[in-house]
Structure 1
Amino acid sequence: MLDTDTIRQTEMPEEMRFLFDQYPRDSWDAHPGFKEKTRHWLGAHQMFRRVAERVRLDTESLLDRGMELEDYAGRLSHYGGNLVGNLHGHHGWEDRSYFPELSAADPRFDAGLEVLEQDHADLDQVLDDFTRTANRLIKLSDLDEVQAREEAGQVHATAATIEAFLKRHLSDEEELAVPIILHHRLRG
């Protein structure tokens, strides 16, 4: 299990902001270099934020007794599996394809790449912890409701960690990558 205190809590390092002031977030949509591929990538990030929030909110509903355990277990299986599987796939694609493209276009990207890759490694550990705990709760939902509800506290803590992690990491990633894409007219 990853010690969540070791996960980066700080804002994006200044060396990662080299083009962000020139291409602030509120100007992206209007930029002629902002193409469909970039919109899809940002859309995937929005989906991850929403699904992580959904898992946390559902768990809070279970803990507050606003949702039946059987319903929660099904939703946790669906949304939790969706979140974990798609994040692993997305980050693998970024590491193998997307980040090398950005690095080749602008070597200054490498200053932030190390930070983002460490984030991906840390997130993988958190997702593994979440998967183990969520799977245990789902199994217990058929065997022992009291124990399953006790396990929900750990699922909630890990889901909240994932949600906070994604909020910071995805924003940092976007604010590093999109200005490079716009500046070099990539992904057209």
Structure 2
Amino acid sequence: MLDTYTIRQDEMPDEMRFLLKQYPRDSWDAHPGFREKTKHWLGAHQMFRRVAERIRLDTEGLLNKDIGLGDFARRLSHYGGNLVGNLHGHHGWEDHSYFPELSGADPRFDAGLEVLEQDHADLDKVLDDFTRTANRLIKLTTLDRAQAYEEAARVLKTSAAIEGFLKRHLSDEEELAVPIILHHRLRG
């Protein structure tokens, strides 16, 4: 289960973040190279953060009896499917299209991109565990309500791990990629 997964906790090494000093996060919006494609990409990251948080908050609500089991199962199916499906698609696009473009523009960042690609592989394991656990919980809502609540504790643990993982990974990904984009005027 989740305890066997290794989720990176450390920030990217400073040598992989040197362009961040030249292009700090609070200056991105004003930069002439900060265009719609990059804003859209960052918007997708914000959506992932919000949906992961929503799943955790809803699961806490279920366990606190603030949300009924049927309503929770519908919300979990909707938000969980949205999160998992969109993350897989987004990361596949990054790994096969976006990251190679960034690497071609600035090969000094290949080591950082390798870290991000490993994060994607590690997150896939957590998402698979979440999917199995969430699907089991949804099935149990009609079969055994007591077991559904027990499974909800596992969903909470996994969803909290996803949320924490995304916080670390997406921030690092943004702070590695956006300075490259701005420096080389990519994604126009």
Q: Above 0.5 in TM-score? A: yes
Paired with 1:176 and 1:4, the residues of 2 have a C-alpha distance of 28
Q: Note the residue ranges of structure 1 that are not aligned, 5 or more in a row.
A: none
**Superimposed CA distance per residue, residues 98-124 of structure 1 (whole angstroms, 9 cap, x where no aligned partner):** 000000000012020111011000000
Paired with 1:82 and 1:126, the residues of 2 have a C-alpha distance of 15
Question: Does the CA-based 8 Å contact 2:138-2:148 persist in structure 1?
Answer: yes
Q: 5 Å matches for 1:35-114?
A: 35-114=35-114
Verify: 1:12 aligned to 2:8, yes or no. Answer: no
Question: Does the CA-based 8 Å contact 1:129-1:158 persist in structure 2?
Answer: yes
Amino acid at match of 1:172: D
Change in 2 beyond 3 A, CA 1:23/1:109? same
**Superimposed CA distance per residue, residues 119-174 of structure 1 (whole angstroms, 9 cap, x where no aligned partner):** 00000000000000000000000111000001000000000000000001000000
**Poorly superposed stretches of 4+, deviation over 4 Å:** none
Map of 1:180 onto structure 2:
180
Question: Does the CA-based 8 Å contact 1:55-1:79 persist in structure 2?
Answer: yes
**Superimposed CA distance per residue, residues 66-90 of structure 1 (whole angstroms, 9 cap, x where no aligned partner):** 0000000000000000000000000
Paired with 1:119 and 1:135, the residues of 2 have a C-alpha distance of 24
**Superimposed CA distance per residue, residues 31-63 of structure 1 (whole angstroms, 9 cap, x where no aligned partner):** 000000000000000000000000000000000
- The TM-score with structure 2 as length reference comes to 0.98
The offset of 1:4, in angstroms, is 5.2
Verify: 1:150 aligned to 2:153, yes or no. Answer: no
Aligned-pair identity (%): 83
Question: Does the CA-based 8 Å contact 2:49-2:163 persist in structure 1?
Answer: yes
Question: Does the CA-based 8 Å contact 2:2-2:158 persist in structure 1?
Answer: no
Amino acid at match of 1:133: T
Map of 1:22 onto structure 2:
22
- Aligned residue-pair number: 188
Amino acid at match of 1:36: E
Map of 1:132 onto structure 2:
132
Verify: 1:117 aligned to 2:117, yes or no. Answer: yes
The offset of 1:11, in angstroms, is 1.4
Question: Does the CA-based 8 Å contact 1:2-1:122 persist in structure 2?
Answer: no
